[in-house]
Structure 1
Amino acid sequence: MKFRFTAVAIAAALIGVAQPSFAASISISASSTGKNLELFRKQLDAFEKATGNKVSIVTMPSSSTEQFSQYRLWLAAGNKDVDVYQTDVIWAPQLADQFVDLKDAAKDVVGDFFPSIIASQTVNGRLVAMPLYTDAPALFYRKDLLDKYGKQPPKTWDEMAATAKEIQEKERGAGQKDLWGFVFQGNAYEGLTCNALEWVKSSGGGQIIEADGTISINNEKAAGALDRAKGWIGTISPPGVLAYQEEESRGVWQTGNAVFMRNWPYAYALGNGADSAVKGKFDVATLPVAKDGDTPSSTLGGWNLAVSKYSQNQDAAIALVKFLTSQESQKQRAIELSNLPTLQALYDDKDIAAAQPFMPNWKPIFQNAVPRPSASAKVKYNEVSSKFWTAVHNSLSGNGTSAENLELLEADLTSLKGDNW
């Protein structure tokens, strides 16, 4: 199903936004993951036609870690070449001072968004970014293979591993030599922080740093969760998973070479694309837990749009942000890319439900999602995450035991914290 903007829809998105009296040339930095850039270009073309402004895209790598590093360099230098930044949900506290306060510009629409997502982008009373789409990962599973072997979607990590191993071995024995049981994001970057937080939290091991600032990661349940994941490497997960990010995982999955995958909603639409070997053969479920009765834990993700305070065309940039986060734009994004809307009303939209039947069921997944400790660590979050994913990657790679690495991590985080975060 394709979606077309109407002149009325574009005008509605731009109501209340100051328009420059001249045609402005602005730029937006955007992630290259999946078909994000392709859809952005279509929407930017509609914006250009309606406003007379010109918008160019600054292409960013798919790795959020690399994006953040580049953003921080540009903003620290007062870069005027980028007007609008596509930002990760966790960056607001770290980059807030470099962005324009959008509270006044968004006052007519802010009540339409999920309050928790608006809160995540509000720093010291300033709305530093508008929510573009939200994110929470799920367990993708090959429904055809589970049905073939009489299996149900797993509820626990051990059940997932056992099912993955059994199907992997039987399918390989039948000739599918490249099949693996489970792929995830194991590279040393922000994505591993998300994966490992889910393993730890769903095992009762806490959230790395708790809401009150307490460093909680050095505990037996957390170490046990990492040990469990280490056991997947080379058995149900390829050794190369230690270098996988989202797109590498999706590549294995979409060619039909994995039973299970942990990934974000964007992979759903792509998995059902015309060129996908798994089209119509899979479904999604909540991520597993350590034992029955534990609460599933999906990391809260999502992307937003912020206006640089160094932009020389702030009115046009704000108009673009409101347009791209409007109901019409988010509806198109949901239908074509399976990105989860940040506007509450769209979860009752019949067109979205028809195009993406899984989406209404995803609402409780992200409503109960686990936030990364960016609010606790504040401007030090990036260092916290880097130290955490390094400790996890070392554990998965066999460089020290999980218990040893978490003990060292606790010492490093204690030193980083100092008197306060």
Structure 2
Amino acid sequence: MVSSLVLLTAACGGDEGGGGSNGAAGGALEGRGPIKFATGKDTSGNLTNQVKAWNSQHPDEQVTVTELPESADQQRAQMISNAQIKSDEFSVLNLDVVWTAEFAANRWITQLPEDQFPDLGKLLPTTVDTAKYRDKLYAVPVTSDGGLLYYRKDLLDKAGVEVPKTWPEMVAACAKVKALPEGKAINCYAGQFEKYEGLTVNFSEAVNGAGGVVVGDDGKPNVDTPEALAGLTALVEGFKTGFIPKAAITYQEEPGRRAFQEGNLLFHRNWPYVYALANKTDGSSKIAGKFAVAPLPGLSGPGVSTLGGHNYAISEFAKNKATAADFIKFMSSEERQKANVEKTSQAPTWASLYDDPALNKQFPYLAPLKASIASAKSRPKVVKYGDVTTAIQEAAYGALKQPGGTDPKQALTDLQTKLNTLITQ
């Protein structure tokens, strides 16, 4: 989706974020009754079941789901629009992990008392970190995400090639598969390259997988480097040579998933939720039982995933915050997360679920996914995240758009300059 949708004026907020009258700074979360849950489009089809489980147990505290668009940028835009007018329309917000700092700094979500969420210590530490701003809790991680490489195992086996661990190995593997009669028409690789949040993720993974960074551990931009250039150039050359099909410049998660399920891609970078959908035997997937999952390849070694996932937060302007807090505890519980994994293959935040024997049998990628999440890199945790991600998308998309794309070196030089104006310490 075009990035103009996320160019919104930030509401004024203090550097410390907002405790609010019902937040941790002001005492217990108060108010009980019906609430509304704002979330992105439920592509899994299981959210209704999860909410029904709550509603059946809480007849006087019913949860109504407000389903926002499929595009992450549009979801964020609608949530911010409601916050800027201090609307109580949304009670609980399903936030992309990288939005938490921005929403907390602008006092759009309520600071949560950690003692009311005793299970935080049982979650993957990297996921809990995404739910905090200035060491204070503002959300609870309910799903995590790490990028995975989906590949056609049947075709790689037929061609006699190993699962690639690097980008050049992936290019060579595709050439061998395309030499087969059954692989002649297949496209090699696609991720998410439309100008939206998914491009920030894919660009970051390309840079990190080449040994570079977008923003360093010191919080300063450092994207005009040889390593970052090597990562971006690999993507640009992918489009130029046809290794990445032209259509992929329009791909968000769902169009890419559908292309993979229809048998049009040999390799596909996407999130864990794809596994259950691509393995359906109801006729919706042409590759059920024919694919497998591996860690992302890097330029010359193992790749680095961008940390994804979603946190549930309470709108600062919501009524019935006590109900909202209990709903978040319910949805983030081990029981509900396990039920969700079983139905959707979405990555949980409970560490124990990655070692569950039954789940590992059903989803053999859980062990490598746990390692992927543990070593994943976060996107910049900055207050002006909307402007930062827009700048990244503009730079990356300009270089990838072929023919006539921006020179990769110039794109990174310009991006460095832009990020320096947006990220201040």
- Give the 4+ runs in structure 1 shifted more than 4 A: 17-21, 173-176
- Report the Cα offset of residue 413 of structure 1: 1.7
1:292-303 matched pairs, under 5 angstroms:
294-303=301-310
State the distance in 2 between where 1:289 and 1:146 align.
19
Aligned to 2:393: 389
Q: Deviations over 1:162-212 (max 9, x none)?
A: 222332x335x55864x21111101011111111111111112x2211121
Q: Is the Cα–Cα contact under 8 Å of residues 149 and 270 in structure 2 kept in the other structure?
A: yes
Question: Paired residue for 1:217, among 203, 223, 244?
Answer: 223
Aligned to 1:44: 51
State the distance in 2 between where 1:415 and 1:124 align.
22
State the distance in 1 between where 2:157 and 2:255 align.
26
Question: What SS is found at the alignment partner of 1:109?
Answer: helix
Q: Is the Cα–Cα contact under 8 Å of residues 184 and 249 in structure 1 kept in the other structure?
A: yes
- Report the Cα offset of residue 253 of structure 1: 0.1
Question: Paired residue for 1:31, among 24, 40, 43?
Answer: 40
Aligned to 1:289: 298
- Report the Cα offset of residue 348 of structure 1: 2.2
Question: What SS is found at the alignment partner of 1:209?
Answer: coil
- Report the Cα offset of residue 279 of structure 1: 0.6
Q: Is the Cα–Cα contact under 8 Å of residues 193 and 385 in structure 1 kept in the other structure?
A: yes
* Corresponding position: 1:208 with 2:214: yes
Aligned to 1:111: 121
Q: Is the Cα–Cα contact under 8 Å of residues 38 and 92 in structure 2 kept in the other structure?
A: yes
Identity %: 31
Question: Paired residue for 1:180, among 160, 181, 187?
Answer: 187
Q: Cα distance 1:364–1:104, how it changes in 2: closer, same or farther (>3 A)?
A: closer
Aligned to 2:157: 147
Q: Is the Cα–Cα contact under 8 Å of residues 211 and 373 in structure 1 kept in the other structure?
A: no
State the distance in 2 between where 1:343 and 1:330 align.
8
* Corresponding position: 1:411 with 2:417: yes
State the distance in 2 between where 1:140 and 1:77 align.
42
Aligned to 2:166: 156
Equivalent position amino acid for 1:162 in 2? A
- Report the Cα offset of residue 20 of structure 1: 6.2
Q: Is the Cα–Cα contact under 8 Å of residues 166 and 303 in structure 2 kept in the other structure?
A: no
Aligned to 1:343: 350
Question: What SS is found at the alignment partner of 1:134?
Answer: strand
Q: Cα distance 1:242–1:33, how it changes in 2: closer, same or farther (>3 A)?
A: farther
* Corresponding position: 1:332 with 2:335: no
Question: What SS is found at the alignment partner of 1:363?
Answer: helix
**Unpaired segments ≥5 residues, structure 2:** 1-27
State the distance in 1 between where 2:216 and 2:30 align.
44
Aligned to 1:134: 144
Q: Cα distance 1:71–1:165, how it changes in 2: closer, same or farther (>3 A)?
A: farther
Structure 2 length-normalised TM: 0.87
Question: What SS is found at the alignment partner of 1:80?
Answer: coil
- Report the Cα offset of residue 124 of structure 1: 2.7
State the distance in 2 between where 1:379 and 1:192 align.
20
- Report the Cα offset of residue 412 of structure 1: 1.5
Q: Deviations over 1:126-168 (max 9, x none)?
A: 311111111001111100000000011111111112222332x
* Corresponding position: 1:236 with 2:243: yes
Aligned to 1:306: 313
Q: Cα distance 1:65–1:165, how it changes in 2: closer, same or farther (>3 A)?
A: farther
* Corresponding position: 1:198 with 2:210: no
Aligned to 1:4: none
Question: What SS is found at the alignment partner of 1:361?
Answer: helix
Q: Is the Cα–Cα contact under 8 Å of residues 287 and 298 in structure 1 kept in the other structure?
A: yes
Equivalent position amino acid for 2:38 in 1? S
Residues paired across the two proteins, number = 390
Q: Is the Cα–Cα contact under 8 Å of residues 19 and 319 in structure 1 kept in the other structure?
A: no
Equivalent position amino acid for 1:318 in 2? A
- Report the Cα offset of residue 381 of structure 1: 2.2
Question: What SS is found at the alignment partner of 2:82?
Answer: helix
Equivalent position amino acid for 1:75 in 2? A
State the distance in 2 between where 1:337 and 1:251 align.
16
Equivalent position amino acid for 1:415 in 2? T
Question: What SS is found at the alignment partner of 2:347?
Answer: coil
RMSD: 1.9
Question: What SS is found at the alignment partner of 2:189?
Answer: strand
Equivalent position amino acid for 1:95 in 2? F
Aligned to 2:95: 87
Q: Is the Cα–Cα contact under 8 Å of residues 34 and 266 in structure 1 kept in the other structure?
A: no
Equivalent position amino acid for 1:84 in 2? V
Q: Deviations over 1:263-314 (max 9, x none)?
A: 00000111111221111111111111111xx442111111111111211111
Question: Paired residue for 2:134, among 124, 135, 160?
Answer: 124
State the distance in 2 between where 1:82 and 1:158 align.
47
- Report the Cα offset of residue 354 of structure 1: 2.9
State the distance in 2 between where 1:68 and 1:242 align.
22
Q: Deviations over 1:325-378 (max 9, x none)?
A: 01111001111111111111212223322322221332111111111122xxx2
State the distance in 2 between where 1:152 and 1:174 align.
18
Q: Cα distance 1:174–1:324, how it changes in 2: closer, same or farther (>3 A)?
A: closer
Question: Paired residue for 1:358, among 365, 369, 382?
Answer: 365
Q: Is the Cα–Cα contact under 8 Å of residues 28 and 84 in structure 1 kept in the other structure?
A: yes
Q: Deviations over 1:85-136 (max 9, x none)?
A: 1011111110012212223463422221122321221113431111111100
Equivalent position amino acid for 2:298 in 1? V
